[in-house]
Chain A
Amino acid sequence: MNTLIFRTVAPFLTALMIVFSIFVLLRGHNEPGGGFIGGLIAASAFAIYGIAYGVAAVRRALWFHPLSIAGAGLMLAVVSGLISAFAGVPFMTGLWIYPHLFGVEVPLATVMSFDIGVYLVVVGSITSIALALEEKDDA
C-alpha cells in the first residue's frame, strides 16, 4: 500500500473526505445525509490515512483516543435529549433557536447536536475498531 502516489494523495483525500463528511452531516436535515453516513465517511477517511501512514500517525492526528470521541458523542446525544427536560417538555423533544450570526439567520437545534453526537459515536467506534485491527501484534 505504500506506493508513492497513494502516500502523496492520502492526506489530501483524507482532508477532503472529512470536510465532505461534515458537509454531509450538516445537510442531513434537508438533503440526503446525516450523522450516521457522515460518520462512516469520516471513519473511512481515517482508515485511508492509516493505511497510508500507519496507525501511530492516525492516533497522533486524532489527538484523542477514538473511543473517547465515541463516548463524548454518546454524552452529547444524551445531553441533547435531556435539555428538553429543562424546558418542561418530554425527553428528546427537539428545541430550536434562531440566532443571527453575521446578519444571517442560523437555525440551531438540539436535534442538530444530537446528530453530531451520532456522527462522533460512529466515527469513534468504527475508527477504534479499524485502528485496533491495523495495529501490529506488538501493541
Chain B
Amino acid sequence: MITLFCLLLPFLAAVVASPLTRKFGHNAAWFLALAPACSFLYFASHLPEIANGEVVTGGYAWVPSLNLSFSWFIDGLSLTFALLITGIGTLIVLYAGGYMKGHPQQGRFFAFILLFMGSMLGVVVSDSFLMLFVYWELTSITSFLLIGFDHTREAARRSALQALVITGGGGLLLLAGLLFLWNISGITQLSLLIHGGDLVRESPFYLAALLLILGGCFTKSAQFPFHAWLPNAMEAPTPVSAYLHSATMVKAGVYLLLRLNPVLGQTPAWEILLPFFGGITLIVGTFLSLRQTDLKLMLAYTTMASLGLLVMLTGFDTQHAISAAVLYLVAHSLFKGALFMVAGIVDHEAGTRDVTRLGGLRSAMPITFGAALLAALSMGGLPLFFGFLAKEEIYYALAGGNLRAMLFTAVAVIGNALMFAIAFAVALKPFLGKPVKTPKHAHEGPVLLWLGPVVLAGLGLFAGLFSSTAHRFISSPMASAIEDKPVQVTMSTVPHLGMPLLLSIITVALGALVFWRLAQARVLMSRFIDALGPGPDRAFDAFIAGLVKFSSAVTRIVQPGRMDVYVTATFVLVAVTLLVPPIVYGELPALPAWPVDVMLHEWVFLAIAAIGVVAVLTASNRLTAIVALGIQGFAVAVLFLLFGAPDLSFTQFMVETLSVVILALVMTRLRLMPSDHRPVLQKLGDGAVAVACGLGFMLLLLKATQGTFNNSLTEFFNAYSKVIAHGANVVNVIIVDFRGTDTLGEIAVVMITGLAILALIRIRTGSTTLKPRDNDPDAPEGEGA
C-alpha cells in the first residue's frame, strides 16, 4: 500500500506543481522535491532486507481472466534504480527550481519532469509485462514533452518528435517481444519469468523474441544506429538532460537488458549481438564526442558511449562483467548527473557553454568547479572514486587471452581513454586558464543550482571510500538480482597490481595525451567524421520526408476528389463481389421454373415497374428520370404488399417518396444541366456496371431462395414475440426488442449521416478555405482563425 503510494507520489506532485509554482515561484521546488525525497526514503528503508536477499512484492489484479495484473516487484536491481531515480530526481527538481527561475512555464516544467519521474519509477518496479509496457511508453511520451519543452523553437520540436518516433517505435517492438515471451512461457510476470529462462532459451521463437526486445532496448538506450535522438535531445533545458541522460530514460533499455539477463542471456546470440552493438556504440560515441565544443553535446555523446559500454558488459555475461556493469551504471549515474548540472550552471551563469569560449571561471565559481572536478575524477576512473572501482572491474572482466577478449579490451581502453579526456575537458577547460570574456558576467549560482552537482559528485567519492558498505547494500544485491543467484562484489578502491591496473594506467596515459592535444584531436576527428558522410540523423529526416511523400502520393491515388470515380469504384467492387465467387466456385443458381399462376394484377404492377425503369433510361430530363425511378419503386412496394410484407412495403413507400423529394432538391442545389450529357461510351460503361450489379443481386437472391430455408428463427420469433416481448408485430418486436441494440446502432448512424450531410451542404467551394490553426497553446486566442 505504501509502495503504491510512493509510486504514485510523483504523479500527485505533478498535479499540484503548477498551482504551487504560481503561488511560490521557483521556491516551489523545495515543496515539490519532497515527493521524490519521500519515495527515496521509503525505498532506502528497504535496503537492509533487500541486501539479505528478500524481495518486496505487491499488486492488484487488473484483468484476472487474462492473467494481467498491476503488480510490482522490488529486488536489488529495481531498488538501485528506484533509489537513483528518486534520489537524483529530488536533486533535479531542486536544480530545476534554480535553473528555470523566472521562466513563465516553470510550473509546467515541474509537472512534466515529475510525470516523467513517476513513469520511470514505474518501469523499474513493474512486475507484470503490461504494466512495464505502459510505463515504458509513458516515459517515451513524457520525454517527448520534456525535450520539446522549448516548443517555440523548431529544433526542439524536431528533436522531441525524433525521440518519440525512435523510442516509441522501439516500444512497439518491445510489446511484440513481451507478447512472444508470454506466448512461449505462459507467464506474464517478470518475477516468475526470470526463473524460467531455460524454457525461453529452448523455444524456437527465442531469436524472434530476443531481436524484438533488443529493438526496444537499443532504441531506448540510444545504441548505434538508433543514437541520433540522444544528442538531439540536448535541445531540452539542462535539468532534463541531466536527468534523462544520467540515471533514467536512456538507462531504461539497460535496465531491461539486465532484468532479462537470466531469461535471454547465456546464448550465442546474446553474447554476440550485445557486445557487438555495445562496442560500436562505445567507439562511435566517444569519437563523436571528441569533435564537439558544446559542453552538453560532449557529455551527451559520452553518455551514448557509456551506454554502449554497459550493453557490451551485459552481453559478456560473466559474473565479473555483470558486476562491472552494476558498478559502472551507478558510478555513471552519479558523475554524469553532476557534470550535466555543472554544464548547465556554466551556461546559466556565463551565458555560453561553448568550451572554446570559456576559461578561468574557477575563482568566480569555486563550488561548481569543485563539484566538476570530483565528478570528472570519478568519470576518469582515478583511485579513491567509485568510477575507479567500475573501471577496474571492467578490465578484470574483459581481460583474457583469446582474440575476442583482447578485441573488446582494446575497445574498452580506447573508449575509456577518450571519456577520460572529455571528462577533464568539461571539468577543467571552462575553469582553468586565463579568464575569458563571457557573454554574461559569471559568478557562483544560488544554492538550488550547486546543491545537486555537489551531492552527486560527493557521493561518487564517498561510495568509493566506503566501498564495502556500497557493495553490501547496492552492488551485490543488484548483481545477484541480475544473475539470479547470490553474487558478492568485492572490488575495493585500493589498487592491486595486475592486469586491470596496467590497463587503467594505459587508459589514463592515453586519455591524458588526448586531453593535452584536444584541439588537434578535435580537428582531426571532425575531418574524419565529415569524410564518412551523413549519419543516421540525416537518415531520420530522409525517412520522415519520404513517409510524408509516400502517404500523400497514396492519398492522391485513393482520393482523387472526383465523385464519379468513387461511385464507379464502389459499384464495380460490388459487382465483382457478387459475381466472381459464384462463377469461380460453380455456385450459380439453377434457372427458376417459369411461374404459372401469376395473377393479372401482379402482371400489371410488374409492367409498371418495367415501364418505370424504361422511363428512367429514356427520360430527356433529370427530374423526369427521378420521378420515373419513384414510380418503379412504388410498383415494387405494391408487390411487397401483395406478397404479405406490409411493414416492408409501407417503409418502401415512404423511402421512395422521400428519395424523390430529396433527389429533386439535390438536383436544384447542384445546378446541373437539366439533361444528361455523358458521352455514349461512358454511358455504356456505366450501364454495364449497373447491369452487372443488378444481375449479381438477382443471382444472389435466386440462390438464397433456392436453398433449403432454415426457419428456426421464424419459429422462434413467432412463438415468443407475444409471450416474451408482448408484441404481435414480429417485425417491429425484432427491431425494438430482440435486436434493439442493432437498431440503436442504426439510428446513431442515421443521426451521424444527417450531421455529415448538413456539414457537406454548408461547405461551399471557394467561400471557405480551411486553414489549419497553428496548434501553439501559448498563442493568443483567435490568432489562427
Residues of A within 8 A of B (CB): 24, 28-37, 40-41, 43-44, 47, 51, 66-67, 70-71, 73-74, 77-78, 81, 91-92, 94, 96, 107, 109, 111, 114-115, 117-118, 121-122, 124-126, 128-130, 132-134, 137
Contacts and interface: CB of A to CB of B under 8 A. Distances in A.
Contacts of A132: 757-758, 761-762
B658 interface: yes
B41 interface: no
28 contacts: A24-B650, A28-B736, A29-B728, A29-B729, A31-B729, A32-B646, A33-B650, A33-B732, A34-B647, A37-B651, A47-B661, A73-B747, A81-B740, A94-B726, A107-B726, A111-B725, A114-B743, A114-B744, A115-B736, A118-B735, A122-B750, A124-B754, A125-B750, A125-B754, A130-B658, A133-B669, A133-B761, A137-B764
Interface string B193-226: 0000000000000000000000000000000000
A124 B658 contact: no
Interface string B635-664: 000000000001100110011011001100
Contacts of A81: 740-741, 744
Contact of B732 (A34, A44, A73, A107): A34
A78 to B, nearest CB: 7
Given A31-B728, A109-B726, A71 B647 contact: no
Given A37-B647, A67-B758, A70-B751, A133 B665 contact: yes
Q: Secondary structure of the B side of the interface?
A: helix
B761 A33 contact: no
B737 A94 contact: yes
Contacts of B665: 130, 133-134
Nearest to A74: B751
Nearest to B739: A92
B134 to A, nearest CB: 29
A2 to B, nearest CB: 15
Contact of A67 (B731, B754, B761, B764): B754
Contacts, number: 137
Contacts of B654: 37, 40-41, 44
B577 interface: no
Contact of B736 (A114, A121, A125): A114
Contacts of A109: 726
A44 B658 contact: yes
A46 B757 CA distance: 18
Nearest to A134: B665
B748 interface: yes
B640 to A, nearest CB: 11
A39 to B, nearest CB: 9
Contacts of B661: 44, 47, 51, 130
Among A31, A71, A117, A129, chain B packs the most CB atoms within 10 A around the CB of A129
Nearest to B733: A29
B155 to A, nearest CB: 46
